[in-house]
Amino acid sequence: MQFRAILLALGIMILLLAGAMVPCALVDIAHENGDWPVFAISAFVSGVVGLSLYVLAQGEPSRTGQREAFLLIVGVWVVLPFQGAVPFIASGMSITDAMFESVSGLTTTGATVLTGLDNLPEGLLLWRAILQWIGGIGIIVTAIAVLPQLRVGGMQLFQIESSDMSGKFLPRMRDIATRMGYAYLIVSVSCAACYWISGLSPFDAIAHSMTTVSAGGFSTHDLSFGHFNGTPAIYFAVFFMMVAGLPFSLLAMAMFQGRIRALWDDPQPRLFVALFLGFSITIVGLHELQVIPPTFENRLHAFRDALFNIVSVMTGTGYASAPYDTWGEPVIAIFLIATFLGGCAGSAACGIKMFRLEIAYKAVIAHSRKMIIRRRVAPIRYDGRNVDEDTLQSVMVFVFLYFATFLSGAVLLGIMGEDAMTALSAAATTVSNVGPGIGEKIGPSATFQTLGDPQKWVCTILMLLGRLEFVPVFAVLTRRFWSA
């Protein structure tokens, strides 16, 4: 195992994270908040740690392989949350709460233990947004673009982390990462501009653009996006949350190569759009049948809120414009199902992802037909191509690990004293990196603050496993990984 290159990479990533703390200190100074030393000291501490690792790892570059790539990905998502938690700890939070908030930010989950957001210092609110913006796709692009000394296939590294099925659109992986980074930045700036012209303050517009495009969901207000009800911002949010759920490689192709049709030719966006539109229409119908008196003023209002919240849950953004857990039990069931689905592979969204859903569905249909007619050959096709055995196996392994982890987390939370709805919802929303759960305790109008410390650590681990998509973590934990 070549640890030198891994330490070097982690050192660079920590230095970049330390640099991201500087704007938070400057924002506090500009707003005359006395909390600016929190970020100045945190940036210094993180900078020392990152520089130490960088210096320690200097030497002759060594060739690395797939094991080092797996270990780097796991290391990034374990080490960086500790550094991201430093400002929270310095501001007075407990280690448990600070780690929960940091992991929730970097994994773009959006679950929070903080209350009174409207009165928190702007620097701390900006730090939460920056964590999510970095976690959305920034870490992926950075790891591919600025760490060539790893000498591991860039596309391989990207696939390990994001399960991108979109394929290459440029010959060099660094060029792909650069274009994806530009696309991410362009979408973020566009989102901030749209929020600003719709009436949000410049600070709210920038912070919410970061947490929208990253499919994160941290807000600067206790009411989440409900604070902006009655403004055009809610329509812009729906659009940019949908964009966050699309493959960024395809977005880059559309922006820089004019290949707009590629977005619709790919089966993932088609399924993604069909699902959230279908769910929204179903929610409106069920609400009108179940909830008396109705919550909404009219059907347009109902469709807008249903669309906003279902897109938010499916992409894992986690914004809430209304307490959708009060819209009737059938609607709650739909939101619980949507929690697992996620967006497209290669997007900022988490969850099972569209390509896995389609492949798993087609595998079930093919197996059913084969059971009826034993000699029938039923190949599984995706996007016009036959799905090979390795891909099918990886999809099935992921789905198994996903639900095994979800159920294990729910059982653990239940053993720790949580009621069935809270345990199931907390496990589902954290392993899917969605954010708000269902019910009075952790629903869209509540936070995770009421959970005990052991429960918060379970949710923290679930968030990390969900963001890493399980396989790299379990691979690193096997004995063969270290003995090979």
Per residue in 3-42, pLDDT tens? 777 788 888 889 989 999 999 999 999 988 888 999 999 9
Give the position of tokens 């490689």.
249
pLDDT, residue 163, reads 47
pLDDT, residue 436, reads 85
pLDDT, residue 155, reads 41
- List alpha helices for 164-201, DSSP H: 173-197
Give the position of tokens 């730090």.
127
- Please state the φ and ψ torsions of residue 188, each to the nearest 5 degrees: -65, -45
Q: Are 96 and 457 spatial neighbours (Cβ–Cβ below 8 Å)?
A: yes
Q: Are 452 and 97 spatial neighbours (Cβ–Cβ below 8 Å)?
A: no
In this model, does residue 74 exceed pLDDT 90? no
The separation between CA 299 and the C-alpha centre of its own chain, rounded to angstroms, equals: 31
Q: How far apart are CA 259 and CA 266, in angstroms?
A: 12
In this model, does residue 157 exceed pLDDT 50? no
Where is pLDDT greater, at 207 or 261? 207
Q: Per DSSP, what are the bridge partners of residue 382?
A: 385
The overall pTM is greater than 0.95:
no
Burial of residue 122 (number of CB atoms within 10 Å: 0-12, 13-18, 19+):
middle
According to the per-residue pLDDT averaged within each range, which of 44-58, 150-164, 340-354, 453-467 is highest? 453-467
**E strand or H helix at 385:** strand 385-386
Per residue in 178-194, pLDDT tens? 788 888 999 999 999 99
Q: How far apart are CA 108 and CA 132, in angstroms?
A: 5
